[in-house]
A and B are shown apart, each in its own frame.
Chain A
Amino acid sequence: MVGIVSFGAYVPRLRLQRAAVVQAHQWFAPGLKAHGKGERAMANWDEDAITMGVEAGRDAMPAEERRHLATLVLASTSAPFSDRQNAGVIKEALNLRDDVLTLDVAGSQKAGTGALLLALQAAADATGSTLCIASERPRARPGSEAELVNGDAAAALLLGKDPIARFVGSHSVSIDFVDHFRGHDAEFDYAWEARWTRDEGYIGIAGQAVRDTLAKLGLQGEDIAHLIVAIPASGVGEAIAKTAKIPLAALMPSLGPVLGHAGCAQPLVMLAKTLATAKPGDRILVLGFGQGCDALVFEATDRIAHHRPRRGADGWLARRKPETNYMKFLAFSGLLELERGMRAEFDQKQPLTALFRNRKTVLGLVGARDPVSGEVQFPPTSIRVGAETAAVTPREEYPLADRPARVLTYTADNLTYTPDPPSCYGMIEFEGGGRMLAEFTDVDPTAVEVGLSMRMSFRIKAIDERRAFTKYFWKAAPSEEQSS
């Protein structure tokens, strides 16, 4: 029996207040007011589909279980690389074995559910488990509806045997219904009339797919305890539920008001959220829409009662900092060219040979541990620190990414260039040993003190804009949300 073994999610800390966006566009696009309620998740400058995917993956499975992973699939329509496998970067950050299958799935808003279906098949075939991550940081033109409707988030589902939610079955249709598109090299989507998309696409195609799914699986509408319609249009979920005779109470509330719509990741984010409260026997129907439709049905097993989510969608949603500065959102999205000063001219060219040699250190945050003394060191070196002789002693790999740390020294630096001044950094020490000088992220500069407990997070270190290469490394973030 294959299904969902574990689940996780990630929502960035910043929540852009839609009212602030609407206010800024008032003079030009007063009609946006209709979308001015609530807040949307907003990635920090150092987050993208890869880094958020890493967080969701970590949320879904503890480090010690990752060795059994056989397949990693990433679904995203906003991943940073067109040719360098994005899932492969996540694989290094999660410190997975090299003998895993990694795959990027993209090209449609239903890439998330499609990836989930592929991952379920892989889990049924493979000897190890499969991790399916969906992650989006969508871009939208300033002043567009999408700018307000979108949200940045990721989800991860671990698939394998002995599930907490059994995979019951699915139904997919592929129809080249072009409600929007984004051509190669185009920066933004081009969208057709919303009323047509709603009537013909969402209610028409998706509604039919839901009814066909139930019929195919021999289910009645009332058999569905949770209906996940990850479609960013009001009333659509209700309309689909009605035609499929699924009780309205089963319809999962939209995450629009608190998160926004995270593209192809949205169905998986909502699924992860639903699983956190599902009871044994609950059937969940999750729908992914985009040039057709995927509908998947899961049934929670007895195991779900004992499954404790780590942080989960709700946990990450609860860690929030409201952001009212629309200019900051534009700058973080690369839509506003600010004067950065000469310090920003530093050439970020990455020697790829060195990155390959040191990939475990850089992308995996793997240190070294002396098996005799237990001393932990980062980064690993041939001769260990504190050695009395020049002997090169064997040491074991010692991953640090999932170990809590605390601040030993810190500053908030106004001189160093950073997209989000001041640049906060300092020395941290890991529980159990090992220390490093680390950049701090998701931090309130005035709330750092010696002793503050920190959690490592995989982030963008710098972007080489001349060569369009993103450099990643680990940063430290306060392990608990600061009071704001």
Chain B
Amino acid sequence: MSKGIKDKVAILGMGCAKFGERWEDDAEDLMVEAYTEALADAGIETSQIDAAWLSVGFDAMNIGPSGIPLAMALRLHNVPVTKVENYCASGTEALRGAAYAVASGAADIALALGVEKLKDTGYGGLPVRTRGTMYDMIGVVGSAPGNFAQLAGAYRAKHGIAKDDLKRAMAHVSVKSHANGAKNPKAHLRKPVDMETVLKAPIIAEPLGLYDCCGVSDGAACAIVTTPEIARSLGKGADLVTIKSLQLAVSNGWELQGSGWDGSYLHTTRIAARRAYEEAGVTKPREQISLLEVHDCFSITELVTMEDLHISEPGQGWRDVLDGAFDADGKIPCQIDGGLKCFGHPIGASGLRMIYENYLQLLGRAGERQRKSPPVLGLSHNLGGMPNQNVSAVAIVGLQGA
């Protein structure tokens, strides 16, 4: 494995727009909102940005092609802008581009910004779109909940878990995230829910009920990155958040075309997590990782991800969930900001939003929801596609020297 970029890239500033049904705002407004916050946090001017990466998941009813919409919205100084799309993992992909530019020396300061304007589609949920000519002929046009719901039956079958037990564990995931989201002013959904409500909600895709699914919203988030040296020269003090690892694993078709995958886990997440721990020098993730922001597009996704990240033992994730291990006051809080569950999932922005929370928590700036014992390493997991074919991104950030 390559040496990686551990501690080569520092986060100079971050910003996050308020997520939600932003009926009055265009994607441009959301970009400006996130960018303005990040720029102030970084303490720099637009002229100091050397290159930018823009992540957007959907083309339909959104900003349109190319990096131009970002350059125009922020009036960047004709710097290179690359638009990236990697399913729902696009946000982390944008940061990867910016971080690699800095780590390579090609840019001193780079911007990663993710945005998605989903509430112009006319209905809830993600837009129905083509997945390519071949897929449209032989694939299944399923919804996102339908694709992820399949994890549940396979997970139950593999580990011999009763239907009700798994349903309760899934409900706990959502109840916990709603409790967290209620404390976050930037979250879309800010109402706590109880187990009963979650368990009795209408079924969206068997066995996922309404509260097992994250919402759909508009949003934007961004990061400005540079080298630790430049960060210091720009006056950043003792607490500097650096990137410990940024890893991406992309399905090559094995899950659906090979043999051996049983449908109960994310093959790519396991690979991305191993690589990320190696790059960050993490040997005992359950002991060393202080915070988790995972891709909780659905409760079952978060649950199996606890195992795929090698935090829970195989087949034990549901027990850890029910034991409260991932509650805000648990051993390793997961979605302390409310997660996709409460933020909703503006595709291009989500990966950066997760890192934004880890960044705030590491710097002790998370307000009412600040973790009491000071976090050292924050892991974010950003997943795109569906369990049988996906892009899994794992990013670990931490204080410099950690």
Which B-chain residue is minimally distant from A351 (CB atoms)?
B133
**How far apart are A384's CB and chain B's nearest CB, in angstroms?**
8
Given A411-B146, A423-B142, A471-B137, answer yes or no on A341-B123 (Cβ-Cβ < 8 Å). yes
Q: A342-B123, A346-B141 are in contact. Are A415 and B146 (CB under 8 A)?
A: yes
A243 to chain B, nearest CB (A): 55
B151 / chain A contacts, CB cutoff of 8 Å = 409
Nearest Cβ on chain A to B139's Cβ, whole angstroms: 6
Residue A46 is within 8 A (CB to CB) of chain B in the complex: no
B162 within 8 A of partner (CB): no
| A427, B123: Cβ atoms closer than 8 Å | no
Chain A residues within an 8 Å CB radius of B202 = 414
Q: Are B137 and A355 in contact (CB under 8 A)?
A: yes
Which residues of chain A from 332 to 372 have any CB-CB distance to chain B below 8 Å in the complex? 341-343, 345-346, 350-351, 354-355, 358, 361-362
Q: Chain A interface residue count: which class?
A: 35 or more
Task: Tell me, yes or no, whether A436 is within 8 Å of chain B by CB.
Answer: yes
Is B150 interfacial (CB-CB < 8 Å)?
Answer: yes
Contacts of B153 in A (CB 8 A): 409-411, 426, 449-450
- Asked whether, in the complex, the Cβ of A379 is within 8 Å of the Cβ of B154, the reply is no
Contact partner, A412, options B125, B206, B388, Cβ 8 Å: B206
A413 pairs with B142, CB closer than 8 A: yes
Asked whether B253 lies within 8 Å of A381 as measured between CB atoms, the reply is yes
Q: Which of B201-223 contact A (CB under 8 A)?
A: 202-206
Question: Cβ of B258 < 8 Å from any Cβ of A?
Answer: yes
Residues of A within 8 A of B388 (CB): 409, 427, 437
Determine how close the nearest CB of chain A comes to the CB of B72; give it in whole angstroms.
29
Q: Is the CB of B143 within 8 A of A415?
A: yes
Known: A386-B254, A413-B146, A427-B388. A437 touches B134 (CB 8 A): no
The reply to whether B203 and A354 contact each other, CB–CB distance below 8 Å, is no
Question: Hey, which chain B residues are within 8 Å of A412, CB to CB?
Answer: 203, 205-206
A437 and B259 contact, CB distance less than 8 A: no
What residues of B have a CB within 8 angstroms of the CB of A358 in the complex?
A: 134, 137-138
Q: Which residue of B lies closest to A416 (CB)?
A: B143
The one of B129, B137, B143, B150 that contacts A409, using a Cβ cutoff of 8 Å: B150
Task: List, in ascending order, chain B residues with CB within 8 A of A38's CB.
Answer: none
Determine if A437 and B204 form an interchain contact, defined as CB atoms under 8 angstroms apart. no
**Bound complex: CA of A93 vs CA of B190, how far in Å?**
53
Complex CA gap A333/B83 in Å reads: 46
Pick the contact of B256 from A436, A445, A473 — CB < 8 Å? A436
Say whether B146 contacts A423, CB under 8 Å: yes
Set of chain B residues within 8 Å of A450, measured between Cβ atoms: 153-154, 156-157
Contact of B145 with A by CB under 8 A: yes
Cβ contact within 8 Å between B253 and A385: yes
Report yes or no: A410 in contact with B252, Cβ–Cβ below 8 A: no
**B128 interface hit (Cβ, 8 Å):** yes
B122 at the interface (CB under 8 A from A): yes
Which residues of chain A are near B254, meaning CB under 8 Å?
385-386
Let me know if A422 is at the binding interface, CB within 8 A.
yes
CB-defined interface of B190-207 with A at 8 Å, one 1/0 digit per residue?
000000000000111110
Chain A neighbourhood of B257, CB < 8 A: 377-379, 381, 385, 435
Given contacts A427-B388, A451-B157, contact A411 B150 (CB under 8 A): yes
Q: Pick from B125, B137, B146, B149 the residue with the most CB of A within 10 Å.
A: B137
Indicate if the CB atoms of A426 and B143 lie closer than 8 Å. Answer: no
Q: Are B140 and A438 in contact, with the CB atoms below 8 A?
A: yes
**Contact between B140 and A425, CB atoms less than 8 A apart:** yes
Judge whether A427 and B263 touch: CB under 8 Å: yes
* Contacts of A379-420 to chain B: CB distance below 8 A: 379, 381, 385-386, 408-417
Q: Which of B138, B157, B258 is in CB contact (< 8 Å) with A379?
A: B138
Whether B256 contacts A427 by the Cβ 8 Å rule is yes
A379 to B257: give the CA distance in the assembly, Å. Answer: 8
B262 contacts A by Cβ under 8 Å:
yes
Distance from A446 Cβ to chain B, minimum over Cβ atoms (Å) = 8
Nearest CB of A to B157, in Å = 4
Could you tell me the distance in whole angstroms from the C-beta of B316 to the nearest C-beta in chain A? 20
The reply to whether A413 and B137 contact each other, CB–CB distance below 8 Å, is no
Q: A411-B205, A437-B139 are in contact. Are A427 and B150 (CB under 8 A)?
A: yes
Whether the Cβ atoms of B258 and A385 lie closer than 8 Å is yes
Q: Bound state CA distance, A437 and B156, in angstroms? A: 19
Please give, as numbers and ranges, the residues of chain A lying within 8 Å of B145 by CB-CB distance.
411, 413, 415
Residues of chain B within 8 A (CB-CB) of A462 are: 141
Mask: chain B, 284-300; 1 = CB below 8 Å from A; 0 = not? 00000000000000000
Complex Cα spacing A438 to B388, Å? 12
Contact of B143 among A351, A354, A379, A413 (CB under 8 A): A413
Partner of A414, one of B121, B129, B140, B205: B205
* Bound-complex Cα distance A342 to B203 (A): 20
Minimum CB–CB distance from A123 to chain B (whole Å) comes to: 35
A429 is an interface residue with CB less than 8 A from chain B: yes
Q: Which residues of A contact B142 (CB under 8 A)?
A: 411, 413, 416, 423, 425
Please, how many angstroms separate the alpha-carbon atoms of A439 and B129 in the complex? 18
Bound-complex Cα distance A43 to B122 (A): 33
Q: Does A322 contact B (CB under 8 A)?
A: no
Q: Is the CB of B141 within 8 A of A416?
A: yes
B205 touches A415 (CB 8 A): yes
Q: What are the residues of chain A within 8 A of B157 when measuring CB–CB?
A: 449-451
Decide if B154 touches A416 in the complex (CB within 8 Å). no
From A416, A425, A438, residue with most partner B Cβ within 10 Å: A416
16 contacts between A and B (CB under 8 A): A341-B123, A343-B128, A361-B137, A361-B138, A362-B137, A362-B138, A378-B257, A385-B258, A408-B262, A411-B145, A411-B147, A413-B204, A416-B141, A426-B153, A450-B157, A451-B157
> Apart from A379-B257, A411-B145, A416-B143, what 18 extra A-B contacts exist at CB < 8 Å?
A343-B125, A346-B129, A354-B134, A355-B137, A375-B258, A377-B257, A379-B134, A385-B252, A412-B206, A415-B143, A415-B204, A422-B205, A427-B150, A436-B138, A437-B256, A439-B140, A449-B153, A450-B154
